[in-house]
Amino acid sequence: VGLFLDQYWPISLKDHFQTLKNEGGEFEGRDIIDKNQEFCFHLVAENVIRQKKHRLARKARHAELTVSHFSDKIFSSVNAILDLSVFGKEVTLETLVKDLKKKIPSLNFSPLKPNGRISVEGSFLAVKRLKESLLVRACSLLEKDRNFTSEGRKWNRQNPQRSLQRSNNPLASVRTLVPETARSGEMLVLDTDVFLYLHHKCRSYESTLKKFCILSQEKVDGEITTICLKNIQVGSQPNNAKHVKELIEEWSHALYLKLRKETFILEGKEKKEKRMINWACEQLSSRYPEVLINFYRTHVDIIGSSSDTYLFKKGVMKLIGQKVS
């Protein structure tokens, strides 16, 4: 990594692993995340792994690769620097770090600095789980502070200028993530792609809410979606919302490990090419009912299993007359 331009990595890796002399062959899909290469092999996986060490071609400066079976722990060098000072005096930072270590033991934490900063290292999934845990913690603090929030709304209506002073609260930036339902119910935070797939492609989501008489209020904010669950039937079991929350967490975790996403960029393309891409996606939607298609102004996301998203992308490229990379 870093020996040559990033855009050559996918080409070099694909050429290497599709070459028969390297015991390779066709593969179904690929994800490239922060310069960490993860390939999904099926028919030729064992042959490739048996070699253990692989060396790329001369134009890739003979970069050496170590290949192993896919694992959630494959990302072992993701680093992040946290600024926990945003919690202010709401929590004891030492206690917060201790709780995070207990909740996500696979992460390595550096000593906490006096300014509230701390560095963490671990797998990609573990760091993402850390991000979600911190957001949940911030949202829970805002729930406890709802009296202050109500006062702030009244203050803002009376004097817009003073609202700028209120915004100095370090947790104010995430206040908009907490729907009103959160005041008396269960709350969880999901990856937005996972939530959209769960909501649109998994019948169990809506049927479970209906079965247990649960009102679900969702707030999508970029990569994170906040869900608040509340009992809506008088006399229903008080633990229903908690039970549904546990079910959703279980489903979302399974989907997080299964799903892959491909993106067609529309921004900067001619109107005709944009229409062709949208048309091709619509044409293939019935053929791949397990693939979720999200149309946006600047791009189109397709979400599904590794094989489905690869075949879907391949079909779109064929319909619009482009070579599959």
Q: In whole angstroms, give the CA distance from residue 165 to residue 235.
A: 43
Helix (H), strand (E) at residue 176: none
pLDDT tens per residue across span 14-51: 777 776 565 555 554 444 433 334 444 455 677 777 77
Residues 6+ apart with CB under 8 A from 288: 304, 308, 311, 312
Ordered by start, the domain boundaries in the chain are 9-66, 77-142, 186-259, 260-320
CB 143 within 8 A of CB 174: no
Residues 6+ apart with CB under 8 A from 82: 117, 118, 119, 120, 134
- Ranges 161-175, 231-245, 257-271, most confident: 257-271
- E strand intervals along the chain: 29-33, 36-40, 53-55, 64-66, 78-83, 108-109, 117-122, 186-191, 214-221, 224-231, 260-265, 292-295, 299-304
> What's residue 324's pLDDT?
60
Termini Cα distance of the chain: 21
Asked if residue 164 has pLDDT above 90, the reply is: no
Percent of the chain surpassing pLDDT 90: 28
Q: In whole angstroms, give the CA distance from residue 202 to residue 89.
A: 41
CATH 3.30.1370 fits 186-259, yes or no: yes
pLDDT tens per residue across span 133-153: 887 777 666 655 544 444 444
Closest CA to 116 of 83, 159, 89: 83
Q: What is the dihedral of CA 233, 238, 241, 246, to 10 degrees?
A: -150
Q: In whole angstroms, give the CA distance from residue 223 to residue 198.
A: 15
Span 123-133, mean pLDDT?
79
Map tokens 């963490």 to a residue. Answer: 120
Q: In whole angstroms, give the CA distance from residue 54 to residue 144.
A: 54
Identify the weakest region by mean pLDDT among 141-145, 160-164, 181-185, 202-206. 160-164
Binning pLDDT at 50, 70 and 90, where does residue 103 land? confident
Alpha carbon of residue 228 to chain centroid? 19
Q: How large is the C-alpha radius of gyration of the chain?
A: 23
If one compares 29 and 11, the residue with the highest pLDDT of the two is 11
CA distances to 14, 35, 52, 86, 260 from 29, in Å: 10, 16, 21, 39, 9
77-142 against 186-259: fold identical: yes
Query: Could you tell me the sign of the dihedral formed by the alpha carbons of 213, 215, 220, 225, in that order?
Result: negative
Map tokens 């959160």 to a residue. Answer: 182
Q: In whole angstroms, give the CA distance from residue 23 to residue 49.
A: 9
> What's residue 290's pLDDT?
95
Which residues are registered as beta bridge partners of 79?
A: 121
> What's residue 68's pLDDT?
72
Which residues are registered as beta bridge partners of 229?
A: 186, 216
Q: Check residue 229 and give left, alpha or beta (phi > 0: left; psi -120 to 50: alpha).
A: beta
CA distances to 21, 49, 81, 176 from 69, in Å: 20, 7, 29, 41
The model scores a pTM over 0.85: no
- Fold (topology level) of 77-142: Ribosomal Protein S8; Chain: A, domain 1 (3.30.1370)
